[in-house]
Amino acid sequence: MAKRQKPKKGLKKESKIPKASTKGLSNLPAFFSDTQLHCILIMVLSFLLYGNTLLHDFAQDDAIVITDNEFTEKGFAGIPDILKYDTFRGFFKVDGKESLVTGGRYRPLSLVMFASGVSLFGQTPFVFHLMNILLYGLTGIILYLLLLKMLSPKQQDTYAVFIALVTTFLFLVHPIHTEVVANIKGRDEILTLLGSLAALYYSLRAYYESKPEYTAIATVVFFLGLMSKENAAMFIFIVPLTYYFFTKADIGTIIKQTAPFVGATVLFILIRSFGVGIPLIGGEAPRELMNNPYMVITNDSVFPATYAYMGIGEKMATIFYTLGKYIQLLFAPITLTHDYYPRHVEVMNWTNWQVIVSFLLHMALGIYAVLRAFKKDPLAYGILFYLLSLAIVSNIFFAVGTNMAERFMFMPSVGFCFIIAILGYRFIQMKTKVEVVNIKSLYPIFAIIGIVGLLFSAKTIHRNMAWKDNFTLFSTDIHVSKNSAKLRNSMGGDLVTLSAKEQNEQKRTTMLTEAVGHLNEAVKIHPNYKNAYLLLGNANNYLKQYEASISNYNKALRLDPYYQDAKNNLGITYRDAGRYYGEKKGDIQKSIQYLQKAYEARPTEYETVRLLGVAHGMKREMNKAVEYFKKATEIEPNNADAFLNLGNAYMNAGNETEGAKYRQRAFQMDPDVEKKRAR
């Protein structure tokens, strides 16, 4: 049972509320004592908050884990590979690229669920969103039951129910969770917290009820939490703290209750290490800015630009700035974004007042928690829960590949909400000057929490709308993350993709021009951003800005000579430029120059070879025209038009016999071939 504070001077013990008749719970009116009703309402609230995501499409990282992952696309058949490889392997489809982020990622459980969903329902976003909402509601229920078990293990009282209800309510409505629930990929965050909380809940039940089967359940669900995301490992510290703060267990018992969690973690690390072949941590940090935000440009006057790792001072200042931003977002989640990549978060130093305030605040929280831990102060527990679960994603101990992300607050926010609930209760204690607060005395706090909850709920429902699809998300958050190279790149890329479907030429040109603007900003922030150069090349090509397109593809290839997409697109652009200068500008010599480069890049592409034949024919270089038209017939031996071209070229070269032969062959293949050309 939670340790109660001794009555402070000036506090008196208020008479208990008459015993409630419902479910035998003491001190509480019927509504507040109805645990089953509370669980139902928690699930209902989850649907009220996130029901508007059910008709949303896939968005953002859903491509990595569902729509463009070769393993999940196979459904049940892909599960063995999901369990065998790094989480990103199915997306990149080749070995090596999945380890771009230090230590790799092994989170198979959510992908197994996605693969199963594909087999059972196809790639239907509705089903995937529905499952996220259900799992979120279940997480809220487990959190509520866990808090009741922690604070009042035998019979619920005012204190336990208040803390459990307020903590769970704030957790459910908090807008910072929208990235996790509204984005299907966020299921890994839900599953790891659900598994961790459920494991602690069943561990406490095993302790209080002396049922070993609950220990087995705790071990299994914790292992599943680890298989969802590595963050669950922090519960090997949170579990013993929970027993220390809220039970009378001795050191030996605490070690015994923690042992299954440690065992599950060791098993997970072994599977991860030997099965996947990568360590949990370690290795040199990547030198690519999009995978390591703690890089700085040392010289951008050359290409490629030169980068270096941040100094430890700048790095730690930037980290503490982001830690302060997390606290700000927990209290005031007004401006949210899915993208905190460089340089949405600028490089900081220790002269920045926000860095200093964040550092002092976190030091104060840490000192308070340690000192008050000896008194088993629940507020200290909440702080330690927050700091411990934050540590693994803070970038202080492990590189996580980005400065910060709202999804990283999913687990730590439990500690934050618990702290707010404790402070609310203590405020009423101070106001009423009693130790055991009457439930009616708590109504003002319930009212305040209710108002905050309504504001948070409105923000959550509104924020969900941004996650409708990629374009909605990017075009919403670009106003917040203007200095993010990644979001600029994403916005530009999506505009290029959507422009291909636009029938109105003027609108299409406007979209492409806007895309070029975003992509130029991306490479201004990150001069060595090879994907941005690829997308710039695409946009320039569609705008018929061929020289710029070729330049950008060549920059991408200078950054990565094996960049196959850039190689292919460069060849296409040379071909398109050749056609443009030949057909639109009448510059046959320039046309041939571009077409020759296209041929060198893609020697087996029919259209390039055909255009070379046409260009040389227009230049009256008939032998060259015959040479290329003959190659065209070899590339597409069943193409009647190719043989007609060859026959005409021979005719124009003065070889009527060969010309007639190939023309006759063309007509045998397709009697209407000449009529079709005339159309």
The pLDDT confidence band at residue 281, using thresholds 50, 70 and 90, is: low
pLDDT at residue 481 is higher than 90: yes
Give SS3 for 12: strand
Please give the structure tokens belonging to residue 523. Answer: 């490479």
The pLDDT confidence band at residue 512, using thresholds 50, 70 and 90, is: very high
Residues 195-240 pLDDT 10s: 999 999 999 999 999 999 999 999 999 999 999 999 999 999 999 9
Residues 124-138 pLDDT 10s: 999 999 999 999 999
| Mean local confidence (pLDDT), 413-424 | 97
Is residue 580 within 8 Å of 547, Cβ to Cβ?
A: no
Residues 6+ apart with CB under 8 A from 46: 133, 134, 136, 137, 140, 172
Q: What SS3 string covers 219-288? A: HHHHHHHHHHCHHHHHHHHHHHHHHHHHCCCCHHHHHHHHHHHHHHHHHHHHHHHHHHCCCCCCCCCCCC
- Tell me yes or no: is domain 516-678 CATH 1.25.40.10: yes
> What span, in angstroms and rounded, lies between the C-alpha atoms of 203 and 196?
11
Is residue 321 within 8 Å of 345, Cβ to Cβ?
A: yes
Give SS3 for 401: coil
Domain ranges of the chain: 516-678
pLDDT at residue 308 is higher than 70: yes
pLDDT at residue 103 is higher than 70: no
Please give the structure tokens belonging to residue 204. Answer: 């406490």
Pinpoint the alpha helices (H) of 526-639.
Answer: 530-542, 546-559, 564-583, 588-601, 606-618, 622-635
Which pLDDT does position 48 carry in this prediction? 98
> What span, in angstroms and rounded, lies between the C-alpha atoms of 457 and 462?
8
> What span, in angstroms and rounded, lies between the C-alpha atoms of 122 and 60?
19
> What span, in angstroms and rounded, lies between the C-alpha atoms of 457 and 488?
29
Helices (H) and strands (E) in the chain, counts: 31, 2
Residues 6+ apart with CB under 8 A from 627: 613
> What span, in angstroms and rounded, lies between the C-alpha atoms of 51 and 607?
50
Which pLDDT does position 180 carry in this prediction? 98
| Mean local confidence (pLDDT), 233-260 | 97
Which pLDDT does position 10 carry in this prediction? 46
End-to-end C-alpha distance for the chain, whole angstroms: 87
Residues 352-365 pLDDT 10s: 999 999 999 999 99
> What span, in angstroms and rounded, lies between the C-alpha atoms of 225 and 262?
13
The pLDDT confidence band at residue 28, using thresholds 50, 70 and 90, is: low
The pLDDT confidence band at residue 343, using thresholds 50, 70 and 90, is: very high
Distances (CA, A) of 370 to 374, 380, 390, 412: 7, 7, 16, 18
Run of H or E including 308: strand 306-309
R_g of the chain computed on alpha carbons:
32
Q: Which residue has the tokens 């948070």?
A: 456
Which pLDDT does position 439 carry in this prediction? 82
> DSSP states of 440-465 as a string?
GGGHHHHHHHHHHHHHHHHHHHHHHG
Which pLDDT does position 597 carry in this prediction? 96
Which pLDDT does position 30 carry in this prediction? 81
Which pLDDT does position 154 carry in this prediction? 77
The pLDDT confidence band at residue 398, using thresholds 50, 70 and 90, is: confident
pLDDT at residue 20 is higher than 60: no
> What span, in angstroms and rounded, lies between the C-alpha atoms of 235 and 171?
19
Please give the structure tokens belonging to residue 534. Answer: 């690829």
> What span, in angstroms and rounded, lies between the C-alpha atoms of 662 and 326?
73
Which pLDDT does position 97 carry in this prediction? 56
Residue 99 neighbours by CB distance under 10 Å: 20
| Mean local confidence (pLDDT), 426-453 | 89
pLDDT at residue 598 is higher than 60: yes
Q: To 5 degrees, how large is the angle CA 317–CA 322–CA 324?
A: 95
Distances (CA, A) of 8 to 205, 426, 429, 430: 32, 12, 10, 10
Is residue 311 within 8 Å of 296, Cβ to Cβ?
A: no
